[in-house]
Structure 1
């Protein structure tokens, strides 16, 4: 006997194939906060068309060479290649390959100024640069106010040089903005050298993208600051990275503890190794599974002899002379019920206290936004409990007309690509506020790819995943030498060939399909099946008028399993099956699949 609920779950329900369906059927593009056209640029790299891939990336990413080294890679966990061998396409590292192996510098063509209204941007980080670029391309004059001597924000002051060389940030942040005609006022701090109220008087719109740089306090299990947090030898992670990146004196001793497990913590512990520390520990209050950094970052730190300690919480920083750090006291935890973050709450275990001898402690618990320079009362701004302006995400504006905000300044410390997505969205909102109109999206098209037979000419499904090449351990003790050496052009082409090209879709013409099941038999991953009408949900719009049929069948394609090999096309005796590429461009919605042939498969 079949359970009715189970039977219903086993039935199929047809949906209309709309542009939205096509777009959400490309998981890497959905997973990217900037909705980068991943499939197309990977396809270009598979043909060694690095310059075209770089330019396509720059449309969405703004700083592709930076992101190819530092992106948090939210696109990769959802990559369909995982269905084949459990290893996603190396989307991030291939982005770097396009930047590294392009033939030309690609100076941007400066857009003409076609708008009379002016925009000011506070902060030349990810969100600020993205917003400024979009507005300049729309024809607005844009000025960025940046407190540091270079553009890039956390790309420069928070990411180590051994991960991100400064020639990359100089080209993609400073020089790219100059090419576009964005004026950047360096060494200019808003709130000190110029006031927000002055900017609102001088400009028609102001976008606050000031970042998130104030370190969270060194708290214990009770969320109170622990004893000894102000001793010499305690250096907040984000500030330590800023000092080392700008060449300021940095003290890192021989025995170092890094508190936390996010990307900043990984950068700090590996930086300590490069500054000569003999023993480096990571201490984290939760388990490895709940840590903020990804598996690759942890593996690299372990390879460099960092020792990880999970389920421990700091109790006090110790000192023998009352001035300098001499060690720390910790307590071991067990995991309790989930807290507000959704992760299981660490619960201290009485009687498990222990001490570790140290001379340097680097807290890396994340940051919050500095709002001391923002005259919230004078501007009558609505703010949250930390004083950060509240924004309407429909228009990215604060409660003060013409004052917009976004990026990590309003959302908290996240990652570069999320801030870039914010900046692009905010630019579109500012354009609408200033009387501009969104660019009309081009009509969606379905382009048939004739003679598609990838599975007969390419072994892409069996190409192994390759980690990005990097320096041997003995050569990693330099703060200025890049640790990852990157794919060679040949390696990049091979890794790009692993991509399943999810913007392609199998289409079956029911008017000439003879239900022979030849496609079912030849499909290597059982993604095509022939199902009787009894498996279709009653009342399905695609089967109106068929409720009285005693026979009949549907051809079902499981998009999650399809590897776009095209063997079913070759096998079909009536040419009822074709491979179609979906093409659309919608600049303001940040969705784009380019009209570039991505594969030569004849």
Structure 2
């Protein structure tokens, strides 16, 4: 039996919808480190407006064609569409569709140089390019020093060509920077060909974005380097990918073991298959549920006949002749308490050792750390991480302890993903501009945009459109290193997949001056996200609680933003036209967010409007 007193407990409170509320109300945007305006570009794709979607993406994340193939997709797990059918919007793959199906290349217009301060950037990877782009648009002359012969960093030397064609990286990393007027000095390694101290003398600010390329050693359960780690046939994953990407000679065995199960491991195991390996194992010390790799990539590797073994840790790399790899000894694990990473610690099981025989190549993919040997920390009196030697930075200013020397991206944060590095680069550009005396762009006043005749639920079946994986080559056609495996959505497929989006940047608004509390919207709502509640159910202490005490007959209309699919059926049903669909927009300083500033009420994750 339901307790009537419990049923009438206060369940919601009012508050001013600050930027924080708006950000969480658009979960894909807050989930993206670069705060990409996902809802808007997906909406553009749903109308086949690919060029506009591409340009919107380029504004936010610099290399949309690259990210549409390689992004780690932190936006997708939080996508509200999951609540409808358990499948998020294909945000990443639709980003690629916008790049693939645009009509024009969209060469960028070169911004004029309006600042008399110069900036140098070390590294033309994701963080460096993002920082350079934003600084050029602010009017600064920018020079990047890059050790490789092309721009892109890990996009070129780490991500395989079968995932990311070099025509895409060249357009977005090289041509785009050229168009903007960013000077890139190639084949120049800072610390060897030019010294950091020289850059600090020549430039008003220097941003270190040198990436993270030193592979972690092959260690056993005790944390010590395993015997045999120096045998012929043992290679680290970053070196293996760099050699295959640049077309350098590299030995690829017939029976290959990849240690680790992250992004690099997936690229290595699938690349080994394409270079002729007959059997490839991926060995991971934790469980399948805890592996860092994306589930889709793991499934694709399995389709390509890669074998995964979990809860195993290497203890020794074996050799029959004392020179070459011939096998690996492992111990099986069980999971203990969570460690510093938040994942359960693997614990070796005594007596569970076993050997994989006839192995002729081992690829270690345990992650990377940054090379700091080229930084004269003592000469500059830099504060550095005692373990790694990497400069410490102020998280608010992105500056090191040396004035004018900034750092970020994977160089300071460790190996992560492209979109996080891009976000760092953009934030660093803002900080450098402030340091050099520039001002943030003032926030624009909020603007309410009403969408007239909004009747999506009457004309569209978007809530029943199934999720479709990106089309790809049949397995038998994948054994080429230069042929892209994923073929991408057709324009028609992209439009259909974009139509699945719930458009979370839109909000139902109820005008209390003409609402007659008829409950028609409550009755027609297909997901029961609208309800009528008495004012007495506002939590005590809330500004509306005093109103509830004096106005006993008052009621609130509650709209649960988590459930609302923006169908517009309530708009059609309302007899007094009290309900409308609106979008609230305001550009934040430096265009990093589109935010709202409107008064709403809240019940948990729901909005309430009287």
Q: Shorter-normalised TM-score: what interval?
A: over 0.9
Superposed counterparts of 1:161-172, under 5 Å: 161-172=161-172
Instruction: Report the Cα distance in structure 2 between the residues aligned to 1:541 and 1:287, rounded to whole angstroms.
Output: 50
Counterpart among 442, 445, 448 of residue 444 in structure 2 = 442
Aligned to 2:412: 410
* Structure 1 range deviating more: 12-21 or 160-169: 12-21
Q: Pick closer, same or farther for the CA change 1:3–1:378 going to 2, 3 Å.
A: farther
Q: Pick closer, same or farther for the CA change 1:3–1:371 going to 2, 3 Å.
A: farther
Is 1:359 matched with 2:363?
A: no
Instruction: Report the Cα distance in structure 2 between the residues aligned to 1:333 and 1:369, rounded to whole angstroms.
Output: 30
User: Residue by residue, what CA displacement relative to the aligned partner does 1:65-85 show, whole Å, maximum 9, x if unpaired?
Assistant: 000000000000000110110
C-alpha RMSD over aligned residues: 1.6
Q: Pick closer, same or farther for the CA change 1:198–1:8 going to 2, 3 Å.
A: farther
Aligned to 1:432: 434
The alpha carbon displacement at 1:426 in A equals 0.3
Look up the SS of the partner of 1:544 in the other structure.
helix
Aligned to 2:608: none
Aligned to 1:69: 69
Aligned to 1:249: 249
Matched residue count: 594
Aligned to 1:372: 373
Look up the SS of the partner of 2:168 in the other structure.
helix
Q: Pick closer, same or farther for the CA change 1:10–1:162 going to 2, 3 Å.
A: farther
Superposed counterparts of 1:104-143, under 5 Å: 104-143=104-143
Q: Which runs of 5+ in 1 are unaligned?
A: 595-602
**Would you say the 8 A contact 1:19–1:444 is kept in 2?**
no
Q: Pick closer, same or farther for the CA change 1:10–1:76 going to 2, 3 Å.
A: farther
**Would you say the 8 A contact 1:379–1:400 is kept in 2?**
yes
Aligned to 1:561: 563
The alpha carbon displacement at 1:442 in A equals 1.3
Look up the SS of the partner of 1:299 in the other structure.
helix
Superposed counterparts of 1:93-242, under 5 Å: 93-242=93-242
Instruction: Report the Cα distance in structure 1 between the residues aligned to 2:572 and 2:410, rounded to whole angstroms.
Output: 51
Instruction: Report the Cα distance in structure 1 between the residues aligned to 2:571 and 2:583, rounded to whole angstroms.
Output: 15
Look up the SS of the partner of 1:414 in the other structure.
coil
Instruction: Report the Cα distance in structure 2 between the residues aligned to 1:532 and 1:336, rounded to whole angstroms.
Output: 50
Instruction: Report the Cα distance in structure 1 between the residues aligned to 2:82 and 2:9, rounded to whole angstroms.
Output: 25
Look up the SS of the partner of 1:410 in the other structure.
helix
User: Residue by residue, what CA displacement relative to the aligned partner does 1:284-332 show, whole Å, maximum 9, x if unpaired?
Assistant: 0000111001110110001101100000000000000000000000000
**Would you say the 8 A contact 2:268–2:363 is kept in 1?**
yes
User: Residue by residue, what CA displacement relative to the aligned partner does 1:6-56 show, whole Å, maximum 9, x if unpaired?
Assistant: 779861111213344223311100000000010111111011110110000
Aligned to 2:28: 28
Look up the SS of the partner of 1:144 in the other structure.
strand
**Would you say the 8 A contact 2:235–2:363 is kept in 1?**
yes
Instruction: Report the Cα distance in structure 1 between the residues aligned to 2:414 and 2:279, rounded to whole angstroms.
Output: 31
User: Residue by residue, what CA displacement relative to the aligned partner does 1:180-201 show, whole Å, maximum 9, x if unpaired?
Assistant: 0000000000000000000000
Look up the SS of the partner of 2:235 in the other structure.
coil
Counterpart among 583, 586, 597 of residue 584 in structure 1 = 586
Instruction: Report the Cα distance in structure 2 between the residues aligned to 1:473 and 1:187, rounded to whole angstroms.
Output: 38
**Would you say the 8 A contact 2:111–2:136 is kept in 1?**
yes
Look up the SS of the partner of 2:13 in the other structure.
coil
Aligned to 1:600: none
**Would you say the 8 A contact 2:29–2:38 is kept in 1?**
yes
Look up the SS of the partner of 2:466 in the other structure.
coil
Instruction: Report the Cα distance in structure 1 between the residues aligned to 2:139 and 2:103, rounded to whole angstroms.
Output: 29
User: Residue by residue, what CA displacement relative to the aligned partner does 1:78-104 show, whole Å, maximum 9, x if unpaired?
Assistant: 001101101000000000000000010
Instruction: Report the Cα distance in structure 2 between the residues aligned to 1:314 and 1:5, rounded to whole angstroms.
Output: 60
**Would you say the 8 A contact 2:536–2:552 is kept in 1?**
no
Q: Pick closer, same or farther for the CA change 1:110–1:511 going to 2, 3 Å.
A: same
Counterpart among 533, 536, 542 of residue 534 in structure 1 = 536
Look up the SS of the partner of 1:147 in the other structure.
coil
**Would you say the 8 A contact 1:285–1:333 is kept in 2?**
yes
TM-score when scaled to structure 2?
0.95
User: Residue by residue, what CA displacement relative to the aligned partner does 1:343-372 show, whole Å, maximum 9, x if unpaired?
Assistant: 000000000000002111001000000000
The alpha carbon displacement at 1:548 in A equals 3.9
Aligned to 1:575: 577
Is 1:474 matched with 2:494?
A: no
Aligned to 1:599: none
Q: Which runs of 5+ in 2 are unaligned?
A: 597-610
Counterpart among 485, 506, 509 of residue 511 in structure 2 = 509
Instruction: Report the Cα distance in structure 1 between the residues aligned to 2:41 and 2:481, rounded to whole angstroms.
Output: 32
Q: Pick closer, same or farther for the CA change 1:456–1:555 going to 2, 3 Å.
A: same
Instruction: Report the Cα distance in structure 2 between the residues aligned to 1:17 and 1:446, rounded to whole angstroms.
Output: 14
User: Residue by residue, what CA displacement relative to the aligned partner does 1:180-238 show, whole Å, maximum 9, x if unpaired?
Assistant: 00000000000000000000000000000000000000000001000000000001001
TM-score when scaled to structure 1?
0.97
Aligned to 1:547: 549
Instruction: Report the Cα distance in structure 2 between the residues aligned to 1:182 and 1:544, rounded to whole angstroms.
Output: 60
